[in-house]
Structure 1
Amino acid sequence: MEMTEMHVRPDLPTISFVGLPPGAEPGFNQNVLSHGTSGVLEEYEIVTPSGIPLRVYRQPSDSKSAILTYHDIGTNHTSFFGFFSYPEMRVISQHFTIYHVCAPGHHEGEEPLIPNRTNGENLGFLKSVFNWHSGSAADAETALLPADQMPAAASGRHRGSTGSGSFSVFGRQSVYQNVAEESTSPTSQINQYPTMDELAEMLTSVVDYFKLKCFVGFGMGAGSNVLARFALHHPEKVSALFLINPNGTTHGYYEWFRNRWSDLPSLQRGIFTDNLLDQLEAHWFGFGCCQNEDLVAFYNQLARSLNPVNLAGYIDAYINRTDLGLVRSPDPPGVVKQRESEAGPDAAGPPTEIKVDCCLVTGSLAQDLSRALADLNGRMNPRTTQFLLVPDCNGFLMEEDPDKLALDFFHFLRNVGFLIMMTPEKLRKEAAALQKATAEVAHQYLPSSAFKVEQEA
């Protein structure tokens, strides 16, 4: 019998994308994609009080419970799509509305948030690094400003500044200029990428816009730090935190001299170097060795697809982050609550404890990430914090072992009061049924032995 190969072209429905109407100005809380044409994701642009637009991608559901994700440096919201498309996570997602928050300027096709000066006027990053011993922090900060904006005395708001003075973390200054305090209108020019604290405070606009009572935070790397800062100051808005590769300290000497980030000024000019990719890989994998070349190539391509100026801003904000200021109290909870009640709500001093349930996760092969997790876990409340080292994994747990991570996330949600009626056996059964249904649909449109489903007798 002669076999002939047939290529069947499925008759797929037409998909149309609807953007902003002609002549409309971007931003101002407009729904960028029509809800009717985007069955999986709804894209929103929310302008924060600082004037910086923030993109949020929502996976709608009938549930009022919410999961809010925040991505790492060198990636964007799409880094969560693969993990949340995993069968077990698809079952879990049916009980939540997912909000993927994209860091400012990190969505596809975005323009630079700040002026891109190619003549080196605001590229004093390396100069301030290597000349930190030759002058004061105020001199280094003044050196970053153009001649026409040189103040009579170095002052203003800066990362790590306290009061009217300012200081630099290990002598390093931001590659961006300072933002005037009065520049809060949406039409004002943005001169500096937000700090980590400002990125965390922007989430209040997301919570208010979608009228979220509280949410479960799901962060990765630098996004874990942003969510931890938000929960530290707004615990009433957070139900729980699931933080992958978290870090609660500053960018220390060891981390600085190992990472270097020497090509960051070039990235701010729009030049993406191979050395910078190596630095990002070291951050992602915690200096572990990733054997999956396809995974490395995918995230390298994702990093190159981002706007380099905005990517440099997020990296700069992360390496100039401040310490979370967490302190583990040796006293029992009753004594701590009594002390807080006696001090009153107007007690001076920043918060020193994240008062929500947290799960800290990283891979056992990522030595630096494991060290950072151990340090953060030692400063958290042991009654509300648990940690997990996934064996035989580096920093990219969502791709390296999604089955294990999804099951751990499921157990964590059950511990904090979600999915009480679902057992692990029921989760696997529903995931298998969902996977089978997906295979049947794929076989219908793409006839192939790879998607063939066994017929029950």
Structure 2
Amino acid sequence: MKGTPKPNRPVILTLHDIGLNHKTCFNPLFNHEDMQEISRHFAVLHVEAPGQHEGASTLPTGFVYPSMDQLSETLAIVLKHYGIKSAIGLAIGAGAYIMAKFALNHPDMVEGLVLINISAQSEGWMDWAAHKILCSTRSLITFVQLQEEIQTNHDLIATYRHHIQNGVNQSNLQQFVKSYNSRKALDVERPVQGGTINVRTLKCSSLLVVGDSSPAVDAVVDCNSKLNPTKTTMLKMQDCGGLPQVDQPGKLVEAIKYFIQGLGYMASASMTRLVRSRTSSGTSIASMDGSRSRSQSTRSHTNVEQRGRSQTDVSMQSVSNSPSEPVLPALNRTEVSC
């Protein structure tokens, strides 16, 4: 726990990906100077999967590693243990899948979700490859290089290769991978006008994040297609691989600030990295630099502390949805990249 939870305000709840822990996964983000403004407003609760923390001993013989469903329920237990009523989830990869299941089962405990590299699918070919690698080398080094796709950043690859080889208990890691590979497809369905009213979907606002050169792009796009378009935004980060919180922390912090403002907090937060502009239309398109276009969206929200009204305008590249998708309000259904 970083900071002291504030009354009537959620905490930021994080959960890491396979092969990482809360430090290696989120330190570059939370140590970024722009993140300090968010940290001043919210306590942060980092959760680690069993046996994945620094210096972890090998789990005892006979230990049955929790399933994805059990891990998601553990998040509710952790929040209740600390007397926390609600959270804003921030998670990546396997952690994002677990966080989404937690939000589905406990919508009253989740105010918003920032999910990086989430896959709503059951085991895919990348997971199959990881299983084969584990069986042959008992290491995730090669898999993480494939999964994260940061081929242009050799120093970063070397850092994470060293961590996975020397800083992770390999036996515990295999059990976490096996649990993730045994997952079922996320039980969500996109609401359609005129269709079933009570479909199972995320009730909270969600920001799906993926790097434009990450192999997780297709999985994130697929997940986006299954969620409520009036509550979900997909952010594709340019010049970024599979670890946007490490590769482009400043840009991700700015996106998180906008997202949190949309939830009704931090109305006066400073914005510096993303282009800002004001428009009366949520679907107008203008030129950003001659080769990129942008979508300008206007959000109105309530400042919890001041009970006032404020408006935030975000200008980012817009990618239109498929024509086959249901016609729903354009303002909240744009896929954006920055």
Q: Which TM-score tier does this pair reach, normalised by the shorter chain?
A: 0.7 to 0.9
Q: Which has the larger radius of gyration?
A: 1
Aligned counterparts of 1:98 and 1:410: Cα–Cα separation in 2: 15
Aligned counterparts of 1:59 and 1:391: Cα–Cα separation in 2: 30
Aligned counterparts of 1:255 and 1:310: Cα–Cα separation in 2: 20
Q: How far did residue 294 of structure 1 move?
A: 1.7
Is 2:108 the counterpart of 1:236?
Answer: yes
Aligned to 2:245: 398
| Structure 1: runs of 5 or more not aligned | 1-57, 116-189, 341-350, 428-457
Find the residue that maps to 1:377 and give its secondary structure.
helix
Tell whether the 8 Å contact from 2:65 to 2:176 is kept in structure 1 after alignment: yes
Query: TM (normalized to structure 2)?
Result: 0.75
Tell whether the 8 Å contact from 1:249 to 1:323 is kept in structure 2 after alignment: yes
Aligned counterparts of 1:71 and 1:260: Cα–Cα separation in 2: 17
Is 2:303 the counterpart of 1:420?
Answer: no
Aligned counterparts of 2:57 and 2:200: Cα–Cα separation in 1: 37
Aligned to 1:299: 160
Q: How far did residue 256 of structure 1 move?
A: 4.8
Which amino acid in structure 1 is aligned with residue 35 of structure 2?
A: M
Indicate which of 201, 212, 216 corresponds to 2:84. Answer: 212
Aligned to 1:277: 141
Find the residue that maps to 2:216 and give its secondary structure.
helix
Is 2:197 the counterpart of 1:325?
Answer: no
Aligned counterparts of 1:249 and 1:224: Cα–Cα separation in 2: 12
| Structure 2: runs of 5 or more not aligned | 275-338
* 1:91-119 C-alpha deviation (Å, 9 max, x unpaired): 1111000011011111122222241xxxx
Q: CA 1:202–1:256 in structure 2 vs 1: closer, same or farther (change >3 Å)?
A: closer
Corresponding residue pairs, total? 270
Q: CA 1:424–1:75 in structure 2 vs 1: closer, same or farther (change >3 Å)?
A: same
* 1:206-240 C-alpha deviation (Å, 9 max, x unpaired): 11111111000000111100100100100000010
Find the residue that maps to 1:407 and give its secondary structure.
helix
Regions of 4+ moved over 2 Å: 61-65, 254-257, 263-267
Tell whether the 8 Å contact from 1:215 to 1:240 is kept in structure 2 after alignment: yes
Aligned to 2:279: none
Q: How far did residue 205 of structure 1 move?
A: 1.5
Moved more, 322-331 or 416-425: 416-425
Aligned counterparts of 2:133 and 2:249: Cα–Cα separation in 1: 32
Structural mapping, 1:5-404, within 5 Å:
58-61=1-4, 63-64=6-7, 65-78=10-23, 79-115=25-61, 190-252=62-124, 254-256=125-127, 259-265=129-135, 271-272=138-139, 276-283=140-147, 285=148, 288-304=149-165, 305-331=167-193, 336=197, 340=198, 352-366=200-214, 368-404=215-251
Which amino acid in structure 1 is aligned with residue 77 of structure 2?
A: S
Find the residue that maps to 1:361 and give its secondary structure.
strand
Aligned counterparts of 1:214 and 1:260: Cα–Cα separation in 2: 34
Which amino acid in structure 2 is aligned with residue 369 of structure 1?
A: A
Q: CA 1:357–1:109 in structure 2 vs 1: closer, same or farther (change >3 Å)?
A: same
Tell whether the 8 Å contact from 1:353 to 1:380 is kept in structure 2 after alignment: yes
Tell whether the 8 Å contact from 2:21 to 2:54 is kept in structure 1 after alignment: no
* 1:330-385 C-alpha deviation (Å, 9 max, x unpaired): 1369x72xxx5xxxxxxxxxx7211111000001111x311001100000000110
Find the residue that maps to 2:85 and give its secondary structure.
coil
Q: CA 1:191–1:83 in structure 2 vs 1: closer, same or farther (change >3 Å)?
A: same
Aligned counterparts of 1:311 and 1:382: Cα–Cα separation in 2: 35
Q: Percent identity?
A: 31
Aligned counterparts of 1:354 and 1:256: Cα–Cα separation in 2: 25
Q: How far did residue 291 of structure 1 move?
A: 1.6
Q: How far did residue 61 of structure 1 move?
A: 3.6
